[in-house]
Amino acid sequence: MVQDEAAEGRDTGRLVPIIIDDSRPPLGFRQFQAIDLSGWKVRGNAAALNLVHEAIVAKAGTGELGHAPKPPSERRSYWGSGIAAAGIIAMAVASLLYWPTFGSTAANGGALRVRLGEFQTLSPTVPRPVMDTLREELLTALGTDAIIIASAEQPKAEPRPAFAVKASVRRSQDSLRFSVHLINEKTGVTVWSETLERSAEPLDLVPRQVAVGVSQVLRCGLTGAAHYGKPLADKTLSLYLSYCTERWGATLGKEGSSSGGIGLTRRLTEAEPDFAPGWSALAWHALRASTGNSLVDAKTMKAEALDAAQRALKLDPDNSQAYEVLAGLQPPFAHRMSEKFHVKSVSVRDSDCACEYLNYAFFLAQVGRYAAALDALNLAYEMVPQGASINATRAWALFGTGRPDEARRVSAQVLEIWPRNAPLHQILVNSAFWTRRYDGALKLLTDPKAPFSEQERYAMKLALHAANGAASQQDARAALIALPAKAEGSELMVIPALAALGANAEALTLTARLVEKEGPWALYMLFEPPMAEARRTPEFAQLAQRFGLIQYWRESGRSPDFCKEAAPPTLCGRL
């Protein structure tokens, strides 16, 4: 209702948009310049209030917004007969208050309500606080969603919750086994059930980890249902929640399967052909299956992904996941075409997972725009503050843009819930070469529980000591160059270490091999801080030309961050 009233004001030329916090406007209102009252503390006056006054006067009278203001005596005369203008202001403020729920919930008449029901401990050796923590963490995780309203109790008045979550836990030797169920309150049907098994130690972290995984699946499934323009059958919702389980399997402690996900989402689109999220889910799985799977034909999978994404957009032009898939389907190193679809994905309705912002950040990093990547990651964080991958990537971008103290705070927050997060441990070791603070990285490499192979520990310790002047650089370089053959995926650690030791040619050669093997995403390695000297070499310019970066920088007019340095490489003068 609020958005309808705001739309009426917009369409009749009487809307005065006002910003009262950092919420984003709904679709249909983002093109209007708004008056910023976010810093006003209600008491006293604010310069922006004069702008509000003048805007109301202009809208209530014959003037146009932006014309010279009337004298004070004339302004006051409008207030006597300007009740409608005050109403417009109220609508503008109300619409800003409700912005997070628009677009995605309008079809279903408002937010989707979820009740957290019975949470039981089925083993006497499991302390009751385990389930209390799970309930509280779920409330917190779902509380950042723009659509879901979660409550711990059955409300006494309408509207009643659409769904209920129930959970139980029992001890199984050295593990805790959680069973979680989502029930349609209207039909009584259990539309989703999942069993998660976690090590019982450390006991205080287990329910928090389970809550993050469960909340991601619930957000995925229920947001998809809310985006549909009509009630979704229990069977269809159950299929869609199964897709969400596949997608977030790693967070749930399970192995996902792209081939299994394709079969699942094909059945989903057959069951509900008009359900756009089902088609974008199929597109996502098909794109994922087109790489690194020898059992399927990549060309066929990409064709299916394209068809499914286009079907999703025909049904729902605001489907951000479909635009993400289209970005991923572009030819390698066609950076401008990829960016076109990434920009579109963050310009339409936000997803449940902020994935469009995360993927756009990855793209920005691979074309050397780390500062813009950090902006995208901060938006993702606002939507999903508990996302492990979002926060680990934020920490990396903060290190990369010269903000190590913030990066360490973000890292500490991730490790508080996920103490064995492998990508973040890798980032923390790499960051030592950027900040020249080696003690923390050496301590991590010494920790037997840290997720490093013995070969990685040896080579990286030697490199850190060499960077600090306490070991032979020649020996360290030899150990680093030999490491990828012994430890798969170690290139992400080796490349910045080699560059930090002055082995620029070797670092660039290894980066080129990684890009050729894994694809354009690995281009971000060229722009990490230790590569600063390598970027001044002819070899770097040749790689930038070969992988389409120079063409992108020239045609887009968006230079990489290193061209904004006080003494940029000579390459920048030719862009």
| 476 occurs within a structural domain | yes
Residues 167 and 308 in one domain: no
**pLDDT (tens digit, 9 = 90+) per residue, 289-314?**
888 666 778 899 999 999 999 999 99
Banded model confidence at residue 55, pLDDT cuts 50, 70, 90: low
Banded model confidence at residue 36, pLDDT cuts 50, 70, 90: low
Contact 165, 218 (CB under 8 A): yes
**Domain range for 283:** 257-346
CB atoms within 10 A of CB 550: 17
From the list 340, 384, 95, the residue with the least C-alpha distance to 223 is 384
* Least-confidence region, from 10-19, 148-157, 228-237, 553-562: 10-19
SS3 385: coil
| 523 occurs within a structural domain | yes
Q: Which long-range contacts (CB under 8 A, 24 or more apart) does 233-238 make?
A: 233/271, 233/272, 234/184, 234/187, 234/189, 234/191, 235/271, 236/268, 236/271, 236/272, 236/275, 236/278, 237/184, 237/191, 237/192, 238/191, 238/192
Q: Which residues contact 449 (CB under 8 A, 6 or more apart)?
A: 419, 420
CB atoms within 10 A of CB 292: 9
Q: How far apart are CA 140 and CA 14, in angstroms?
A: 38
Residues 19 and 155 in one domain: no
Tell me what percent of the residues of the chain surpass a pLDDT of 90: 59
Q: How far apart are CA 473 and CA 476, in angstroms?
A: 5
Contact 411, 421 (CB under 8 A): no
Region at 350 (left for phi over 0; alpha for psi -120 to 50; beta for the rest): beta
**pLDDT (tens digit, 9 = 90+) per residue, 357-386?**
999 999 999 999 999 999 999 999 998 888
| 491 occurs within a structural domain | yes
Q: Which residues contact 74 (CB under 8 A, 6 or more apart)?
A: none
Residues 452 and 570 in one domain: yes
Contact 164, 185 (CB under 8 A): yes
What CATH number has the domain bearing residue 269? Answer: 1.25.40.10
Note the pLDDT of residue 399: 95
Alpha-helix residue ranges (DSSP H) falling in 316-403? 320-328, 335-345, 355-366, 370-383, 388-400
Residues 17 and 135 in one domain: no
What CATH number has the domain bearing residue 185? Answer: 3.40.50.10610
Q: How many helices (H) and strands (E) does the chain have?
A: 24, 7
* Least-confidence region, from 12-21, 87-96, 232-241, 540-549: 87-96
Boundary residue ending a domain (84, 101, 118): 101
Q: Which residues contact 43 (CB under 8 A, 6 or more apart)?
A: none
Residues 286 and 369 in one domain: no
| 185 occurs within a structural domain | yes
Residues 198 and 50 in one domain: no
Boundary residue ending a domain (346, 375, 395): 346
The residue-averaged pLDDT of 509-524 equals: 94
Contact 487, 456 (CB under 8 A): yes
Question: How buried is 225 (Cβ within 10 angstroms: 0-12 exposed, 13-18 middle, 19+ buried)?
Answer: buried
Is residue 47 over pLDDT 50? no
Q: How far apart are CA 37 and CA 181, in angstroms?
A: 43
Is residue 490 over pLDDT 60? yes
Note the pLDDT of residue 37: 56
Residues 538 and 453 in one domain: yes
Note the pLDDT of residue 363: 97
Q: How far apart are CA 261 and CA 392, in angstroms?
A: 26
| 241 occurs within a structural domain | no
From the list 204, 168, 161, the residue with the least C-alpha distance to 184 is 161
Boundary residue ending a domain (101, 120, 141): 101
Q: Which residues contact 354 (CB under 8 A, 6 or more apart)?
A: 379, 380, 381, 383, 384, 387, 390
Q: What are the DSSP E strand ranges found in 283-352?
A: none
Note the pLDDT of residue 478: 94
Contact 130, 203 (CB under 8 A): yes
Residues 391 and 482 in one domain: yes
SS3 536: helix
Residues 60 and 125 in one domain: no
Residues 221 and 267 in one domain: no
Residues 268 and 389 in one domain: no
Note the pLDDT of residue 151: 87
Residues 289 and 366 in one domain: no
| 249 occurs within a structural domain | no
Tokens 């711990």, residue? 152
The tokens for 451 are 């997720």
Note the pLDDT of residue 227: 85
| 34 occurs within a structural domain | yes
Question: How distant is the alpha carbon of residue 306 from its chain centre?
Answer: 23
Q: Which residues contact 447 (CB under 8 A, 6 or more apart)?
A: none
Burial letters 8-37, b for 16+ CB under 10 A, else e: ebbeeebbbbbbbeeebbbbebeeeebbeb
The residue ranking higher by pLDDT, 32 or 407, is 407
Contact 181, 165 (CB under 8 A): yes
* Least-confidence region, from 41-55, 144-158, 240-254, 446-460: 41-55
Q: How far apart are CA 92 and CA 408, in angstroms?
A: 40
Note the pLDDT of residue 35: 60
Tokens 């001890």, residue? 171
From the list 156, 137, 140, the residue with the least C-alpha distance to 148 is 140
| 207 occurs within a structural domain | yes
Counted domains in the chain: 4
Tokens 């009751």, residue? 128
